[in-house]
């Protein structure tokens, strides 16, 4: 029985994974569609609004990248000289229907720091192209943007930085707050936590008892 309980809790724990909370003050819109030139990294400077920068969500346009193509993101310091984090995706195609996530290890003291995001499309022989959306009304946290070797003042890519709290419990509290918004009092805050707890306890108990019958 204990082994089964441990197995189910491991499944649950694995599913919970790394949570990070996107800054929704950044607009995510399908703006002007622009092709990214291969091996010509775009540069997007921005200021982080919180500690714990852990992920960048980017809205690409439909891109048939083909086998072997890579998207490589590097996060540098403000001067674009010192590499802080990097994340590489091997993808064959990207849909404009959803964002693409670049995840890296948490940057603890990111609040109010300026970062230089460097995104490159690296095709293999025979691969096709990648395209990205450009916005004219970027977040005030967006500072500088250059695409295909050309500076584009007052524009940015369609992106959203996401932040992770220092502890799992703080993540749970923040998630509880987000889910609680626009919900009635009986489904908010501590009530919501009790509902989730009862769901997990009842469901796991039933499964364990059935397995060990």
Partner 1 sequence: MKDFVKKPGFILALILAGFFFKGVFIATLFPIFTGQDEARHYNTVQFLAEPKEKTWPITPRPIIPDKATIADYNFSEEIREAGAAADFDLFRHAMYDTSAFSDSNGYDGKNETLIDEMPWQRYNNLSPPDTAGKSLYHQLASLIEKAFASSSILVRFFSVRIFSVLLGTLTVFLAYLIMRTVGFLPQESLIMTAIVAFQPKLSMYTTNINYDALLTPLFALFTLGAVLSLKKGLDWKNILLMVAAIILGFYTKGTALVMMPVFAGLVLFHLYKKFGKGKNIFHYTIAIFLMAVFIFLAFQSAGYSLTGLLPFKGSAAETFSALRAYLSKSLTMGRFALSSRTYWGSLGWEDNWISQNFTDIIKLIEAFSLVGLVLCFLSKNKPGYLPEKKYVIFLLAMIVALQLGIRLYDWKIFMQTGSLDLGTPGRYFLPNLAAHIILVFTGMGMLLRRENYFRNSLLTGLILMFSFSLYLIFNVVLPRYYF
| Full DSSP string of 28-39 | ----EEEEEPTT
Binding partner 1 (rule: CB under 8 A), the pick from 3, 16, 64, 83 is 16
**Residue 172 zone, left/alpha/beta (φ > 0; ψ -120 to 50; rest):** alpha
- Tell me whether residue 90 or residue 95 sits nearer to partner 1 (CB atom): 95
Binding partner 1 (rule: CB under 8 A), the pick from 2, 79, 153, 182 is 182
CB crowding 55-85: b at 16 or more within 10 Å, else e? bbbbbbbebebbeebbbbbbbbeeebeeebb
- Tell me whether residue 40 or residue 95 sits nearer to partner 1 (CB atom): 95
Within 8 A by CB and 6+ apart from 186, the residues are: none
Specify the long-range contacts of residues 76-83, CB closer than 8 Å, at least 24 apart: 76/115, 76/116, 76/117, 76/118, 77/114, 77/115, 77/116, 78/45, 78/113, 78/114, 78/115, 78/116, 79/116, 80/43, 80/45, 80/116, 80/118
- Tell me whether residue 137 or residue 177 sits nearer to partner 1 (CB atom): 177
Shortest CB 181 distance to partner 1, Å:
4
Examine residue 166 and tell whether it contacts partner 1 (CB under 8 A).
no
Quick note: the x/- pattern for partner 1 over 21-40, rule CB under 8 A, is xx-xx--x------------
Looking at 33-41, 66-74, 77-85, 173-181, which segment touches partner 1 (CB under 8 A)?
173-181
Binding partner 1 (rule: CB under 8 A), the pick from 44, 63, 99, 165 is 99
Examine residue 83 and tell whether it contacts partner 1 (CB under 8 A).
no
Residues that bind partner 1 (CB under 8 A): 8, 11-12, 15-17, 19-22, 24-25, 28, 57, 59, 95, 97-99, 162, 175-189, 192, 195-196, 198-199, 202-203, 205-207, 209-211, 213
């Amino acid at each position: 029985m204990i082994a089964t309980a441990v197995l189910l809790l491991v499944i649950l724990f694995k599913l919970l994974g790394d949570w990070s909370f996107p800054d929704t003050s950044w607009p995510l819109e399908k703006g002007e569609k622009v092709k990214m030139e291969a091996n010509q990294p775009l540069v997007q400077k921005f200021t982080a609004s919180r500690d714990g920068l852990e992920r960048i969500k980017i809205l690409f346009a439909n891109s048939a990248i083909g086998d072997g193509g890579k998207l490589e993101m590097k996060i540098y310091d403000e001067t674009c000289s010192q590499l802080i984090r990097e994340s590489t995706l091997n993808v064959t195609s990207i849909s404009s229907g959803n964002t693409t996530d670049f995840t890296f290890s948490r940057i603890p003291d990111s609040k109010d720091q300026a970062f230089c995001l460097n995104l490159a499309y690296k095709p293999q022989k025979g691969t096709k192209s990648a395209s990205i959306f450009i916005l004219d009304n970027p977040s005030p946290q967006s500072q500088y943007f250059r695409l295909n070797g050309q500076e584009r003042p007052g524009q940015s890519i369609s992106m959203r930085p996401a932040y992770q709290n220092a502890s799992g419990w703080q993540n749970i509290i923040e998630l509880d707050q987000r889910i609680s918004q626009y919900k009635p009092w009986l489904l908010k805050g501590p009530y919501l936590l009790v509902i989730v707890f009862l769901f997990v306890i009842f469901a796991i108990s039933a499964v364990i008892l059935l397995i060990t019958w």
